[in-house]
Amino acid sequence: MTDFLFPADLDPEAPAYLNGSWLALSQARVSVLDRGFLFGDGIYEVVPVYGRKPFAWDGHLARLHRSLAALSLESATAAIDWAEIVQGLIAQAKAQDQFIYLQVTRGVARRDHSFPRPAVQPTVFAMVSPLKRPSAQDRAEGLRAISLPDERWLRCDIKSVALLGNVLARETAVAQGAHEAILSRQGFLTEGAASNIWVVSQGRLRCPPRSNQLLAGIRMSILPALARALEIPFEEGPIAQTEVLQADELLLTSATKEVMPITLLDGRPVGTGVPGPVFHALRAAYDQAIEAHCA
Ligand X SMILES: Cc1ncc(COP(=O)(O)O)c(C=O)c1O
Query: Please, what is the minimum distance in Å from the beta carbon of residue 272 to ligand X?
Result: 26
Amino acid found at 60: H
Q: Which residue lies nearer to ligand X by CB, 77 or 256?
A: 256
Q: What residues from 152 to 181 belong to the interface with ligand X (CB under 6 A)?
A: 166
Q: What residues from 202 to 221 belong to the interface with ligand X (CB under 6 A)?
A: 215, 217-219
Number of C-alpha atoms within 13 angstroms, CB side, residue 277? Answer: 7
C-alpha angle 52-53-59 in degrees, rounded to nearest 5: 145
Q: What residues from 240 to 259 belong to the interface with ligand X (CB under 6 A)?
A: 253-255
Kindly give the interhelix angle for 219-229 and 277-294, rounded to the nearest 10 degrees. 110
Q: Which residue lies nearer to ligand X by CB, 109 or 244?
A: 244
Q: Could you give the maximum distance between any two Cα atoms of the chain, in Å?
A: 62
Q: Which residue lies nearer to ligand X by CB, 139 or 152?
A: 152
Name every residue whose Cβ is closer than 8 Å to that of residue 195 and which is 6 or more positions away in sequence: 180, 217, 252, 253, 254, 257
CA atoms of 200 and 196, how far apart (whole Å): 13
Name every residue whose Cβ is closer than 8 Å to that of residue 60 and which is 6 or more positions away in sequence: 45, 46, 47, 54, 218, 255
CA atoms of 13 and 46, how far apart (whole Å): 20
Interface mask toward ligand X for 104-143; x: CB under 6 A: ----------------------------------------
Concerning whether 159 is annotated as a catalytic residue, the answer is: yes
Q: Which residue lies nearer to ligand X by CB, 48 or 107?
A: 48
Q: Which residue lies nearer to ligand X by CB, 165 or 271?
A: 165
Residue pair 98/49 in contact by the 8 Å Cβ criterion: yes
Interface mask toward ligand X for 180-199; x: CB under 6 A: -----------x--xxx---
Using DSSP, state whether 80 is helix, strand or coil: coil
Number of C-alpha atoms within 13 angstroms, CB side, residue 255? Answer: 25
Q: For residue 100, state whether it binds ligand X (rule: CB under 6 A).
A: no
Q: Give residue number: closest CB to ligand X.
A: 217
Interface with ligand X (CB under 6 A), residue total: 13
- Check 53, 94, 132, 159 and give the catalytic one: 159
What is the distance of C-alpha 64 from the center of its chain? 12
Query: Please, what is the minimum distance in Å from the beta carbon of residue 256 to ligand X?
Result: 7
Query: Please, what is the minimum distance in Å from the beta carbon of residue 290 to ligand X?
Result: 14
Catalytic sites, residue numbers: 159
Residues at the interface with ligand X (CB under 6 A): 46, 166, 191, 194-196, 215, 217-219, 253-255
